[in-house]
Structure 1
């Protein structure tokens, strides 16, 4: 985290031993450890509160987007449907009697289809 090598830690320990003294060194290290733990706890609480605030902001944005979509859908449902082109009723052309009689004559002149051969269905052998 602080990019301190072991040799630097040993040097810091030796200086602390000379400055603080061997009698008070354990008490000083305990105090430093408690202070570091307290600072870490405060940092994690701050990070948790920051993440919670970010989540709430994201939820507020998402809620706004959903409300916008719901409003646009509601406004689309409230408007009357007006198609661009009106549907026109087209009348089918009346068949020509001469053409109809000619088609019937061609159909009557065709040979009748041959009958289909009989189909023999055999049951499957039991397994």
Structure 2
């Protein structure tokens, strides 16, 4: 990612030691390391969510293609697996539907 060599790291360390001093330098290094680790974990979480969404989208497209091709001409084993895939797609979408339907406006209450 960054092209930082050994001598650049030594220079940054010496400058950090001179600017921050020996008491604050370890604290600064720890806080920078924590920030970098949290940024990496957040990037990994976003990547995993995108991969999951892409797999769901691909599954839905494959189901639509299978329906368009005519599912009546398929073997019973293949029809059974398509039905299992449909159930899996519905179960994945159910938490999203449940959360959107549970957010109903509160009923009108009398105010004093």
TM-score interval, smaller chain: 0.5 to 0.7
Larger Rg: 1
Give ranges in structure 1 of 5+ residues lacking alignment: 75-127
Q: Which whole-Å CA distance do the structure 1 matches of 2:10 and 2:27 have between them?
A: 18
Give ranges in structure 2 of 5+ residues lacking alignment: 75-112
Calculate the aligned-residue CA RMSD, in Å.
1.7
Question: Offset of 1:72 from its aligned partner?
Answer: 7.5
Q: Which whole-Å CA distance do the structure 2 matches of 1:22 and 1:59 have between them?
A: 56
Which secondary structure does the structure 2 equivalent of 1:58 belong to? Answer: helix
Which secondary structure does the structure 1 equivalent of 2:2 belong to? Answer: coil
Counterpart in the other structure of 1:8: 8
- Length, aligned pairs only: 74
If asked which structure has higher relative contact order (CA below 8 Å, sep 6+), I would say: 2
1:1-127, aligned counterparts within 5 Å? 1-70=1-70, 73=73
Runs of 4+ in 1 over 3 A off after TM superposition: 71-74
TM-score, L = length of structure 2: 0.61
TM-score, L = length of structure 1: 0.54
Question: Offset of 1:70 from its aligned partner?
Answer: 2.1
